[in-house]
Amino acid sequence: MLSYIGKRASHSVISVIGLLALVFFLTRLTGDPSSLFLPLDSTLEARQAFAKLHGFDQPIHWQFLDYLRDLINLDFGQSVRQNRSAMEIALEAFPQTLKLAFVAMALAFTLALVAGSIAATRPGGLFDRTVSLVSLTGASAPDFWIAIVGILVFAVSFDLLPTSGTGGISYWIMPIFVLALRPFGLLVQVVRGTMLGALSAPYIKTARAKGLHRKEIVFGHALRNSLLPVITVAGDLTAGLVNGAVIVESVFGWPGIGKLMIDAIIQRDFAVVQSTILVTATAIFILNICIDLLYAVLDPRIRY
């Protein structure tokens, strides 16, 4: 087990380093930050002083070598705009994204297990057709479109929910609903498909012949043996929520790491962009390792 975790961790470190190198060069393609941080009528001397202060006056390969040296020393740079540690800024914003993604995924996963299992017990029925329609709609509709429609309906037209920001429960409803809709739609289809196969298995027929209650057969036997593919898809979707909450956070003004990343890209705050990428990538790699270890808990046949 420990050797497996060590191998996965080493592979993850190599992947993160490659990703950070790619991000370094891509961010430099956006242009010179001095054009955003200095007045339009600033002198050439002022621009040169700004570039020298932040190391932008050196050739790109020397900037990259300095960047790698700072990474080895765990120095992730200073935010040009806020003049403080970029990693500190990223770590302050990340919990907001993590909380939003966790609540949305927990809600989507729970509802999908229940709805998909019930739909599989009566395929072709009214409930099955309704759940399939809702799930396909949720899996297909773009997040930004659902978010904008939600704001127009519930915030502008009926004045029931706030349009953006953080605060009480009312601020969470629309962001969680928008983030949870797509995972719910995909997970329902996976749960329904695996449950249809499980409910037709011989051990389920044996359980029915023994007179076990229907709920115990569906949720105690069939659902448990159908969880592995569901966990696999749920893990990928959770990583997607952590990484892809950018649109939802931007639309609803949620102060998470996704919105921070977009703002830093627009402002050409390179150190903050690199720090947000590092935090997000590390969280996704840790999440993937945890999901792999969860397989061994759910299926005793799996050993690492």
pLDDT tens profile 233-258? 888 888 888 876 788 888 898 999 98
Q: Which residues have a Cβ under 8 Å from the Cβ of 31 and sit 6 or more positions away?
A: 268
Report the range out of 12-21, 42-51, 124-133, 204-213 with the highest average pLDDT. Answer: 124-133
pLDDT at 103: 92
Which of residues 11, 45, 72 is at a domain's end? 72
pLDDT tens profile 143-191? 889 999 999 999 999 999 998 888 889 999 999 999 999 999 999 999 9
Residue type, 179: L
Residue 301 has pLDDT above 70, yes or no: no
Quick one: what percent of the chain has pLDDT higher than 90? 30
CA distance 289 to 240: 15
pLDDT at 189: 92
For residues 133 and 202, state if they share a domain.
Answer: yes
Q: Is the model more confident about 243 or about 76?
A: 76
Residue 299 has pLDDT above 60, yes or no: yes
For residues 29 and 103, state if they share a domain.
Answer: no
Residue 304 has pLDDT above 70, yes or no: no
b/e code 223-251 from CB counts within 10 Å (16+ = b)? bebbbeebbebbbebbbbbbbbbbbbbbb
Residue 302 has pLDDT above 70, yes or no: no
| Cβ 33 vs Cβ 268: under 8 Å | yes
Look at residues 240, 224, 234, 239 and name the one whose alpha carbon lies nearest to residue 184. Answer: 234
Helix, strand, coil percent values for the chain (each to nearest 5): 75, 0, 20
For residues 58 and 144, state if they share a domain.
Answer: no
For residues 28 and 146, state if they share a domain.
Answer: no
**DSSP letters of 244-296?**
HTHHHHHHHT--SHHHHHHHHHHHT-HHHHHHHHHHHHHHHHHHHHHHHHHHH
pLDDT at 181: 93
Tokens of 225: 């043996």
Instruction: Give the DSSP H or E segment for 239.
Output: helix 227-244
pLDDT at 104: 93
pLDDT averaged over the chain?
86
CATH code of residue 276: 1.10.3720.10
| Cβ 188 vs Cβ 266: under 8 Å | no
pLDDT at 20: 86
For residues 217 and 132, state if they share a domain.
Answer: yes
Residue 211 has pLDDT above 80, yes or no: no
For residues 184 and 259, state if they share a domain.
Answer: yes
Residue 261 has pLDDT above 80, yes or no: yes
Q: Is the model more confident about 77 or about 205?
A: 77
Residue 78 in 3-state DSSP?
strand
CA distance 81 to 86: 10
**Taking the model in full, what pTM does it have?**
0.83
CA distance 178 to 270: 30
For residues 146 and 217, state if they share a domain.
Answer: yes
> Considering the domain boundaries, does residue 79 fall inside one?
no
CA distance 143 to 21: 30
pLDDT tens profile 84-134? 899 999 999 999 999 999 999 999 999 999 999 999 988 889 999 999 999
Residue 85 in 3-state DSSP?
strand
Q: Is the model more confident about 196 or about 167?
A: 196
Residue 13 has pLDDT above 60, yes or no: yes
> Considering the domain boundaries, does residue 242 fall inside one?
yes
pLDDT tens profile 278-290? 999 888 888 888 8
Residue 205 has pLDDT above 80, yes or no: no
> Considering the domain boundaries, does residue 163 fall inside one?
yes
For residues 176 and 267, state if they share a domain.
Answer: yes
> Considering the domain boundaries, does residue 166 fall inside one?
yes
**Alpha-carbon dihedral of residues 25, 26, 29, 34, nearest 10 degrees?**
-80
Q: Indicate the pLDDT class of residue 1, thresholds 50, 70 and 90.
A: low
Which of residues 23, 47, 72 is at a domain's end? 72
pLDDT at 293: 79
**CA 89 to mean position of chain CA atoms:** 19
CA-based end-to-end distance of the chain: 5
For residues 161 and 240, state if they share a domain.
Answer: yes
Look at residues 288, 45, 267, 249 and name the one whose alpha carbon lies nearest to residue 143. Answer: 249
For residues 114 and 263, state if they share a domain.
Answer: yes
For residues 222 and 163, state if they share a domain.
Answer: yes
Which of residues 72, 100, 131 is at a domain's end? 72
Tokens of 133: 């329609």
pLDDT at 173: 93
Q: Is the model more confident about 54 or about 252?
A: 252
Q: How many domains does the chain have?
A: 2
For residues 18 and 163, state if they share a domain.
Answer: no
> Considering the domain boundaries, does residue 180 fall inside one?
yes
CA distance 153 to 16: 41
> Considering the domain boundaries, does residue 213 fall inside one?
yes
Tokens of 221: 């036997």
Residue 48 structural domain: 2-72
